[in-house]
A = this chain, B = another copy of it.
Amino acid sequence: MSVTRKKPVKASAESTSAKVRAAGLRPTRQRIALAGLLFRDEDRHVTAEALHEEAAKAGVRVSLATIYNTLHQFTQAGLLNEVVVDSGRAYFDTNIGDHQHFYVEENGALIDIPGETIGISNVPTPPKGMAVDRVDVVVRIKRA
């Protein structure tokens, strides 16, 4: 049988608030609204600017500074992961499980590659006194 990861099908405002609180953060209007946008459906990848626009469209007034604060707090709380694929802007990922990405250089889109898919072997031992924090694999793709 295949190991299927449970997706949060539909998070209520209640559980959203609880999720924020469980992360050790006060469930403020802004944090609840952003968590609602981020975690209501499928896993997703957002930039600060994109989330800001999305919030605006959803009628939620949140400053850009708060978007940045929130993304970083959620990341620190383990609710989000940061994905580094571009030396110009930061992406945040609601999929916090072990997985990799396709990165479409042309339009900046990220596509998840399930964690069991790619095999990575023989990662060398880090220099003395250092330990592996994380191994990131980015498959850059472009129009064939």
A-side residues, CB < 8 A to B, are 82, 84-91, 102, 104-105, 111, 113, 117-124, 126-127, 129-144
A138 touches B141 (CB 8 A): no
**Known contacts A82-B87, A86-B84, A90-B87; A140/B131 CB under 8 A:** no
Dominant secondary structure of chain A at its interface with chain B: strand
Q: By the criterion CB–CB under 8 Å, are B135 and A137 in contact?
A: yes
**Contact call A140/B129, Cβ cutoff below 8 A:** no
B143 and A130 contact, CB distance less than 8 A = yes
A sample of 16 inter-chain contacts (CB < 8 A) reads: A84-B84, A87-B87, A102-B126, A117-B122, A117-B124, A118-B123, A119-B121, A120-B120, A126-B139, A126-B141, A129-B144, A131-B144, A132-B141, A135-B137, A136-B139, A136-B140
What separation, in Å, do the CA atoms of A62 and B131 have in the docked complex? Answer: 39
CA distance A127 to B106 in the complex (A): 14
CB distance from A46 to the nearest CB of B (A): 13
